[in-house]
Every structure is written in structure tokens, then in C-alpha cells.
Structure 1
Amino acid sequence: MHASPASLLALFDGPVTHQLARLNAVDIAVIAIYFAIVIFIGFYLKGSANTSEEFFMAGREMTAWIAGLSFVSANLGSLELMGWAGSAYQYGILATHWYWIGAIPAMLFLGIIMMPFYYISKTHSVPGYLHLRFGDGARALSAISFAFMTVLMSGINMYSMALVMKVVLGWNLNFSIWVSSITVALYVALGGLRSAIFNEVLQFLLIWLGALLVPILGLVEAGGWTNLKHQILHNVGNTQYVHMWSGLGHFNDNPMGVHWTGIVFGLGLVISFGYWTTDFLVVQRVLSAHNLRAARMAPIIGAGFKMAVPFIVILPGLLALSVLPFHLVGESQAVATGGHSYNEVLPLMLVRYCGPGLLGLGVTALIAGFMSGMAGNVSAFSTVWTYDIYGAFINKKATDRHYVSMGRWCTFIGVLISVGTAYLVQHAASIMDYVQSLFSFFIAPLFGTVILGMLWKRATKAGGFWGLLSGTATAVGLWAWVHNDPKALRYVALSPDAKAMAEDLYRALWSWLVCVIVTVVVSYMTKPRPVAELEGLVYGVSPLPQEHDEHWYQKPIFWAGVIAMLFIIANIIFW
């Protein structure tokens, strides 16, 4: 006796959720073709992932454009597509800060200043750089914390994809989580980083092709940007939903409940630079470039595309404030009441504007984004576990073939752990509240350690380890303090009027400051390494290879300047 599809789904999670739309044959074919292509890519590239250099670093053969698109696409998962669309509904255009001041300066800094040190040291990971600069203690601490963060972030992508399937197609969460996780595990385990990168470039194109439908059709319905602003003001009664900077003079003047110091220093300095310059998920893509110039250009190319991403992510959230006939709520409240959460903004808008055929393309774009985020985290977890935990401390003398085999197996293990962490997201108000908390725990102090290691030759091994440990402990301690005593928020975020997002930004800032201060103090109390040992690791004592660009317009610094000017102009326009 054969079970029906509905009964199979019920085995996972009880009755099937009511669906908002029904896919026709064309929609189903589009989605099925996409899954077939990504798995085919994994099998096709399996023969190009036989050595550790090929499996973990794609053989360091990627061009600047492929590495740059992969660099952006690895970050274009649920964090971008659903998390910030939901945050735009909550906070308005303020969410754009996480794309512009929260990304562009750091991406340019990575390409111009930091990339030469990562690339010429030939490290396979950021913890690998810390091993060269600060020794085994800093490497172990950063590798363990990073591995923990990647599986949590991968769980976010799994949960988000399942949420789309629930809202759009009526599938239950558990079934959708397992479908996506098995697919990602297959193509990453088969083709390694090369497979992940090629799929991320494909996913980048699909995301733009499918996700553009909502903002274009939404602006047509709203009657243009000016009319949209008037409608938002009428519905929410707050002009700051469409201004980025003018309402940041006081915590009470904007819907996010944050001050400009939190945006500039907590986000723009600490979280942004921490993520884009030390999070191995994105740095790994740049390290796959075939030469130093390509490695420097990749983040700059990525920054150019990053400038435009709010059009397909933030704008749908703003449109929802204008056109949706009902109010959305936090994730935990939605789970309890059966309502729609902030995180469901994008799929709800997709259903609103996309008919048969177009709906399949839109859903495929969302699936591509989530699988890109999952694959990025899983491949980074595999590399850090194999090189910086297993190979560094457990089995130092294994063969290259053994490490590749370990990388493949821990890909599946990482996916299984990620499945478990996917359900933690249900307890957060929104995806972005959850993500920003993770960044303050792991990324902010790591940036303090890496930047001091690269720019200050006096930093010592003991200083790097104790600075990183104290910064991480500070972030966790501040989170626990506010979690147990909500009144403590006024001390952490400097105001009784601050809200949750402000807490995340200031927590990151304090953890970074503690890391830097402890690193400096301990370094002055301990003996530094001889300068000769720091060549290739510290700015000022390392000869950088010459780049022979024939024309001025080929230089990375020129294109970084172009992107910086566009960044300044965009912030002035939406002030």
C-alpha cells in the first residue's frame, strides 16, 4: 500500500499547514530542475575535489568575478532574503544600514588592506592565520567558537527555507528542513568548496532573476516611491520608517530604538568589520582566487553588488507595510497563535504578486538563497573542523586523502547538527535578533584579535589568546545579564529607551573593546616575538608582492574609490 504525499508529510509534523498558493506543473518543473542542477554540479565536480587543496580551497583557481559573486552569494541566504525583509517591516528603511554602513566599508577594507596578509600566508582559514600569528591557544578558541557559530547559522537558513515552504506551499517545517539539508550535504560533500562556489554563482543569478519580481510589481501597485512613503506614513504614523539617519539622534526618535553611535561604532566598526574580514564563511571564497589581484578585487566586486541588494530585500518589507491587509508579529507569538511572523514578509509578498510560472521562479530564487547560506556555512565548518581542530589537535600526521575523507564526513555531521539548531530560531522574536546576538558573541571579539595581530607587531601570543577569551566571555556575560534582568538593558545600551537591536550593537562594541584592551595590556606584560618571525603576518614588516596593472582603471584602489563614492551618495539621498 502506497502512502499519499499528505500522509507522508504528516509523519513529520502532524497535519499539513494551510497553503497560500498552489503550484502548477510549470512551477513544480522549475523547482525540480533547480534541485537536479545543483546535485548534478556536485557529481560533475567530484573528480576535481580529490586533494585537500581542491576540496577545501577550490584549488585556488577562481577568477575575481567568480570569487566576488560567490563572496556575496554566500551571505545572500536567509539572513538577507527573509531576515532583513522582516526587519524592514519592523524597523523601516533603517534595516538598509546592515547593507551599506554595515558592509561596504568593511568589504573595501578587506580587499585593500587585509587580503594581502591572508593570501600571501597561504592559510586555509582565519583560525589558521591566528595559529601563525598567536599560536595554538588562539587558534583552538577561534576554531571552536567559529564551528559552533556556523552550524547555528546554517540552522537559520534551514529554518527559513522550511518557513517559505510552509507559508507558500503548506508543507510542514520538519519535512522541508530535511529536504533542503540532504540536498546541500550531497553537493558540498561531493564537490567541496568548488561545488559550493559554482552553485553560489548560479544561486546569485537565480536570486536576482526571481526576487526582482516583488519590488518591481510592488512599486507599480504602490504608485512609485513617493506614494509608497505617503502610504507607510498613513499606516504606521512614523516618518522615520523611510529615513536612514535623520532619526538617530535619540533612541526614542526611530522604530529600532537605537542611537547613531550604535550604528556607526557597534555596527559599522565592530560587527561589520568583524563579519566581512574575519568570518571564514565569506573570507574562504576570496582565498580561492587564483592570484593576489583577483583576491583583492573579489570583495570590491562584491561590494558593488551589495549596494543594490536592498532593492530586492528591504523594499519588499517596506511594501508590506503599505499593502498587506493584516499585521505581522514576532516569531514566537506567531508560533503560539498561528499568525504570520515578520520573517514571512517575503513569501507573503511573493504569493501576492506572482502567478503560475512566476511563482515557481520566485520560490526557486528563495530556495537558492537559503541553500547558498547553508552550503556556505557547511563548507566553512568542514574546513575549520578538518584543518584547525581535527588536523591541528587530534590527528596531525594523517594523509591528505584522509583529511579529504574527514572533510566529506564532517559535512554530513555538520548538516545533522544544523538540523537540530534550526529549531532554536523559533524562540527568537525575529531571525535578525538571533543572528545579531551570535555575531556579538563570536565575530566582534575575533575582529579585535585579528586586527591587532595584523596591524600591531607588539601583540603577543598570550595577549591574543586572553584578549579573544575575555571578549567572548564579555559578550556572553552581557547577554546573560540582560536576559535575566531586562532592566540591565539601560546599562548595556546606554539608555532606558533602547530596544533589542540596540542591545546587540552595543554588546558587540563592549566585547570588542574588552578584547582590544586585554590584548594590549597582556601584550605589554609578556615578551613579543622577534620581528623576523612576523614577516607575512603583520603590516609594516611584510613586503607585499607587486601588482602589475597596465592601466590605472585596472587597479583595485580605483574601483574601491568608485564604490566608496556611490556609498556616500546613497546615504545622502536616503538621509
Structure 2
Amino acid sequence: MELLAQELRLPTNALDYTLLGIYFAVVLGVGFAARRSVNTSLDFFLSGRSLPAWVTGLAFVAANLGALEILGMAANGAQYGAYTVHWYWVGAIPAMVFLGLVMMPFYYGSKVRSVPEFLLHRFGPSSHLLSAVIFSVASVLIAGVNLYAMAIVIEALLGWPQWVAIVVAGFFVLAYITLGGLSSAIYNEVVQFFVILAALIPLTVIGLQRVGGWSGLTDTLTAEQGENFMSAWRGTGIGTDNPLGANWLTIVLGLGFALSFGYWTTNFAEVQRALSAKNLSAAKRTPLIAAFPKILIPLIVVVPGLVALAVAPDIGQAGSGLEYNDAIPLLMRELLPNGVLGIAVTGLLAAFMAGMAANVSAFNTVFTNDIWAAYVRRDRDDRYYLLTARVVTAIGVLGGMGTAFIASTFSNIMNYLQTLFSFFNVPLFVVFIIGMFWKRATAAAGFWGLLAGTVAAMINYFWLYRGDVLDIPTDQGANFVSAIVAFVAGAVVMVALTPFTRPKRPEQLAGLVYGTVSPGMAEPPAKGDDAWYRSPALLGWGALILAALCYLPFSF
């Protein structure tokens, strides 16, 4: 890390630090302003279900625009090339549309406060508690990724020791979530979204100018990395070698279906934003509105990773002193003047804090409602649970500080995050999708299917892949396979156990299974929500068509 700090140290000045100071002041100001609206636990956890769709939609995409997106996808761009666009156009958009059109009516209509709580109603306490524990652990681990990513950037760019960077960022996240709950997190995420754009757009434009535009970048990387490096689909035939270590089948099934749908439809850090919307129509539109900026994010995240590889061809190589995670910091050092540099550093901090805040706010909701209130301290007054949530927020931040060091063992944090998603999100998706479309699926089948999927993914990754039993050339290829294994194992166990166990009565499944409705799902559109341009179907199909068209420049 000392070598990295020397390689990437930036000449920051008073102007850059002033911009950082202004940003931190705004973050705390939003927290204090939001505090006035927090009177109940529902206000703290779900903003009183009162936010408009455009706010929740921007917060939805900003919550994902953390270390996962900025450093992770830029690292993927440098390591895997144009194959990285699959994480967006097949690995995000279809699942986001499915969430908005198919799953949000069940989530929002059932009035649940969290994703695990839906499992409580559909299957029962065993699946509920297991999913709540799994999600709590995953949330703290992912919060640690954001803290670690932020720490290496600040140490390298500003010279702050890692522990100082972790403590400072953790303090600000803790302060504004504790003060204003989810409202504070969401409104800060909207601000952070525009700060991130202000940081990354200049970096992308200047970076492309440095390498001779898109044609110059393509010519350089094609000459250095091979003709398939700048194509999304060439070289993905079964049995064909490529930098990603995956073929079209594992990309479509592993990433496009299992990992993507597992993440976007069950990850409460994002779903929580939709649940905070003011009505069912706004909740359905939340992920659909988020899909449109998500389609274009590769232009300011993946492209800088490609530029970084062109500028420093030895990035990620042994002895270079630079890891793939350093793609964005490297470009900032090479390309940005003071002032613009301050905006860029602020944008990175905003991204990391948005990602951490999303996971911490999801963690405090799930732990308080789905573990503490459900199984440890039942039937207390609302003020007790509001206080508990604030204490749990502090625990989540401290836990994230601890798990930040686990992320430090991966040279590409996207590899680490995808590993976590294959372990935790894919098995959850199996249980959700079968339980939501099959009335006969039972509580026992849900519990054992969830457990089987999680264990199978871990066995595939740690024993078969890490133990060199399977010949898979890259971590990402192994993660795609782990996701497929998790889905198949969970589905097989659920289907096998269901005929031998007792299902719920039909009246207990109203609003929880496809083909049934609950009073919340029958809510008529609010005034103005019936306008044609607010149609969820139009937004969803529009996003799918636009994502498909984006593949054309990368397909030949």
C-alpha cells in the first residue's frame, strides 16, 4: 500500500479540500433537516412511505453506484474489456424491469418493511429468520467493501492513513443515517448521484481525448489485448478462450439470470428505496426510472477502465505496483487539474458513502424488524424500536469497518462482490421466484432450498474452484458457475421436498403468489399516475429495447 500511495499521490491543494469540506457539510445538513420528519420507526426505516418516484428512482441507482460500480466496474473494464458491459445490459436491466413490473406489486402490496419479511408471510418463521441472518451478514460485508475502496483511494490520493479514512467516512455515514434514517440516506443519495456524474463525466471526456478518442482507444487495446477485447460477444463461444473466462451460456444463465435477478430482485439495499415510495405506482416505477441512467453508466465507468489500461498497459500485472482497482485513481492523477480533481475526489467519496449508507440502512431495518423485534424483544413500543435502530446503525458501521479488511485480499473488488452475491442473493431469488409462482411450495421447502443453495454455492467456489477441481480460468467465470449451481441446487431441493410437506391454505397466500391479490395490490393509480408517459409497461419495455440497442456498437 505504501508503494501504491507513492504511485498515485495527487497534488491536492486548498481548493480541493474546500470542495470536500462543502460536501461533508451538505451531507450533515441533509441529516439534520431529515431528522424533523422522523417520528416513528416507519419514518426511520421507510421514510413513512411518502417519497415521489423520481426521488426513489435516483436513490435506487445511486445506492448501487458505490464501490461496486465505480472502482469495481472500472477494474472490470481494465481486466476484461468490453465484456464488462454485460453487467449492465443483460446483467441489470432485465432484472430491474422484472422487479418493477412483476415483484414490486407483491412487495409493496403486502406492506412488508423488508425483503425477509415477505418470506415470513409466504413461508414462515424458519425461512424468515435464515434469510434475515444471511442478509444482515451480507450487508455488513458489502458495507466493508465500500469502506475499503474509499480508504485505498483516500490514502493514495490524499495521503491520509487508511484507518483515518475509514473512521472519518464511517462517522459521517453514521451521523446522517442516525439523524434522519432512510430519508436522510435517500436525499443524500440523490445529491451524491449528481456529484458522481460531475466527477466521472470530465474524467471520461479528458481520458478519451488523451488516447485519441474512441477509435484511438479501440485501436490501442485491440493491438495490445487482441481483437476480441473490445467486443461484447466475440470469443464467447463454448470452448473459446477470452479474458472473462466465460462463454455465452454462463454469461446469460449465470450473470444475466441467476446473479442479476438474484441481486436486483432480493437485495434490500435497493428494494428498500422502492418500498419508501408514496404509492404502488411510484414503487413500480422506481426501478424502471433507475434503469435508464443505469443503461448509460458504462460510458462513465467502464470506459475509464479501458482508458486506464491504454494509459498504463501493465496495470494489474505482477511488479507494476498497480492493481485493477487503481484504474480510476490512476486516471485522476494523470488527467485532472486542481479544482476538477477536488470534484473527482468528492465524487468518489460520495459514491462510497452512498453504497455504504444503502447497506447500513438496509442492515438496521432487517436486524431491528426481522431479528430483534421478531425473535428477541417482541411487543415493545415504537420508540424502543426507533432507539434500537439507531444503536444497530452504529453496530453496522463498526462491523463494516471490520469487514473492510476482508475486501483488501482481492485485487478486483468486483470479483469479491460477485462471490458474495452468488452465496447470498441467488439462493434467496430461488426461494422467492418459486414461492411467488407456485402455490404448492411449502415452508419446509423454502427453508431447505435457501440453505441448500447457499451451501452449494460455497462448496462450488471454495472446494471445486479454489481446490482446482474445476478448470475455470477466472474468478468471475467461477462466480457465474457458482450462481448457476446455487439456483439449481435450491430449486431441486424445493421441488423435491414440496410434495412431502404441508402447504399453506389458499386464503393465507392472498397477495403473496402470482394470480392472487391483496387490498394493497388493488390500489388505484393516484391522480397524474395514469398519464401515458408514467406507464410502468412503457418504461419497462423502453428500457429493454434501449439496452438491446446499446449492444450494437460492441457486437462486431
TM-score (norm 1): 0.93
Question: 2:276 maps to which residue?
Answer: 288
Question: 1:557 maps to which residue?
Answer: 537
CA distance, structure 2, for counterparts of residue 515 and residue 15 of structure 1: 45
Letter in 1 for 2:476: M
Question: 2:479 maps to which residue?
Answer: 504
Specify which of 218, 225, 232 is matched with residue 221 of structure 2. 232
CA distance, structure 1, for counterparts of residue 65 and residue 5 of structure 2: 27
Alpha-carbon deviation of 1:286?
0.4
Which residues of 2 match residues 136-147 of structure 1 at below 5 A? Answer: 136-147=125-136
CA distance, structure 2, for counterparts of residue 76 and residue 554 of structure 1: 24
**Does 2:424 match 1:442?**
yes
Alpha-carbon deviation of 1:15?
11
Specify which of 418, 428, 436 is matched with residue 410 of structure 2. 428
Specify which of 188, 192, 196 is matched with residue 181 of structure 2. 192
**Does 2:31 match 1:42?**
yes
Specify which of 112, 115, 123 is matched with residue 134 of structure 1. 123
Deviation by residue 1:457-504 (Cα, 9 ceiling, x = unmatched) = 111111111111111111112222136522x123xxxxxx54221110
How big is the alpha-carbon RMSD for the aligned residues of Structure 1 and Structure 2? 1.7
CA distance, structure 2, for counterparts of residue 153 and residue 120 of structure 1: 28
Unaligned runs of 5+ in 1: 1-12, 491-496
CA distance, structure 2, for counterparts of residue 181 and residue 15 of structure 1: 25
Q: Which moved more, 1:541-550 or 1:477-486?
A: 541-550
Question: 1:489 maps to which residue?
Answer: 470
Deviation by residue 1:283-316 (Cα, 9 ceiling, x = unmatched) = 0000000011111111111000100100111000
Deviation by residue 1:369-405 (Cα, 9 ceiling, x = unmatched) = 0000010000000000000000111001111001010
Specify which of 134, 155, 175 is matched with residue 144 of structure 2. 155
Specify which of 68, 74, 85 is matched with residue 79 of structure 1. 68
Deviation by residue 1:112-132 (Cα, 9 ceiling, x = unmatched) = 111000001000001000000
Contact (CA 8 Å) 2:89, 2:548: kept in 1 or not?
no
Which residues of 2 match residues 218-229 of structure 1 at below 5 A? Answer: 218-229=207-218
CA distance, structure 1, for counterparts of residue 210 and residue 314 of structure 2: 19
Q: Which moved more, 1:64-73 or 1:346-355?
A: 346-355
Which residues of 2 match residues 504-543 of structure 1 at below 5 A? Answer: 504-542=479-517
Question: 1:4 maps to which residue?
Answer: none
Unaligned runs of 5+ in 2: none
CA distance, structure 1, for counterparts of residue 184 and residue 306 of structure 2: 35
Question: 1:7 maps to which residue?
Answer: none
Specify which of 198, 209, 229 is matched with residue 241 of structure 1. 229
Alpha-carbon deviation of 1:353?
1.5
Letter in 1 for 2:534: Q
Question: 1:119 maps to which residue?
Answer: 108
Question: 1:566 maps to which residue?
Answer: 546
Contact (CA 8 Å) 1:489, 1:498: kept in 2 or not?
no
Letter in 1 for 2:485: W
Letter in 1 for 2:392: C
Question: 2:441 maps to which residue?
Answer: 459
CA distance, structure 2, for counterparts of residue 105 and residue 15 of structure 1: 42
CA distance, structure 2, for counterparts of residue 539 and residue 419 of structure 1: 41
CA distance, structure 2, for counterparts of residue 484 and residue 573 of structure 1: 36
Contact (CA 8 Å) 2:3, 2:321: kept in 1 or not?
no
CA distance, structure 1, for counterparts of residue 531 and residue 36 of structure 2: 38
Contact (CA 8 Å) 1:134, 1:464: kept in 2 or not?
yes
CA distance, structure 2, for counterparts of residue 260 and residue 15 of structure 1: 38
Contact (CA 8 Å) 1:151, 1:381: kept in 2 or not?
yes
Contact (CA 8 Å) 1:251, 1:257: kept in 2 or not?
no
Letter in 2 for 1:163: I
Q: Which moved more, 1:477-486 or 1:13-22?
A: 13-22
- In structure 2, do the counterparts of structure 1 residues 27 and 248 end up closer, same or farther at CA, with 3 Å as the change threshold? same
**Does 2:181 match 1:201?**
no
Contact (CA 8 Å) 2:442, 2:501: kept in 1 or not?
yes
Letter in 2 for 1:168: L
**Does 2:332 match 1:350?**
yes
Contact (CA 8 Å) 2:5, 2:157: kept in 1 or not?
no
Q: Which moved more, 1:426-435 or 1:137-146?
A: 426-435
Contact (CA 8 Å) 1:17, 1:171: kept in 2 or not?
no
CA distance, structure 1, for counterparts of residue 250 and residue 141 of structure 2: 25
Contact (CA 8 Å) 2:4, 2:156: kept in 1 or not?
no
Question: 2:357 maps to which residue?
Answer: 375
Contact (CA 8 Å) 2:418, 2:479: kept in 1 or not?
yes
Q: How many equivalent residue pairs?
A: 549
CA distance, structure 2, for counterparts of residue 520 and residue 14 of structure 1: 53
Q: Secondary structure in 1 aligned to 2:380? A: coil
**Does 2:77 match 1:97?**
no
CA distance, structure 2, for counterparts of residue 281 and residue 62 of structure 1: 16
Alpha-carbon deviation of 1:338?
8.2
CA distance, structure 2, for counterparts of residue 165 and residue 546 of structure 1: 48
Deviation by residue 1:38-97 (Cα, 9 ceiling, x = unmatched) = 011112211212211100001101111000000000000000000110111010011111
Question: 1:545 maps to which residue?
Answer: 522
Contact (CA 8 Å) 1:277, 1:283: kept in 2 or not?
yes
**Does 2:199 match 1:210?**
yes
Letter in 2 for 1:559: L
Contact (CA 8 Å) 1:168, 1:348: kept in 2 or not?
no
Contact (CA 8 Å) 1:244, 1:571: kept in 2 or not?
yes
Letter in 1 for 2:71: M
Question: 1:258 maps to which residue?
Answer: 246
Letter in 2 for 1:566: L
CA distance, structure 1, for counterparts of residue 311 and residue 278 of structure 2: 47
Question: 1:306 maps to which residue?
Answer: 294
Alpha-carbon deviation of 1:32?
0.5
Alpha-carbon deviation of 1:173?
1.5
CA distance, structure 2, for counterparts of residue 401 and residue 114 of structure 1: 31
Q: Secondary structure in 2 aligned to 1:253? A: coil
Question: 1:360 maps to which residue?
Answer: 342
- In structure 2, do the counterparts of structure 1 residues 483 and 528 end up closer, same or farther at CA, with 3 Å as the change threshold? same
CA distance, structure 1, for counterparts of residue 5 and residue 416 of structure 2: 25
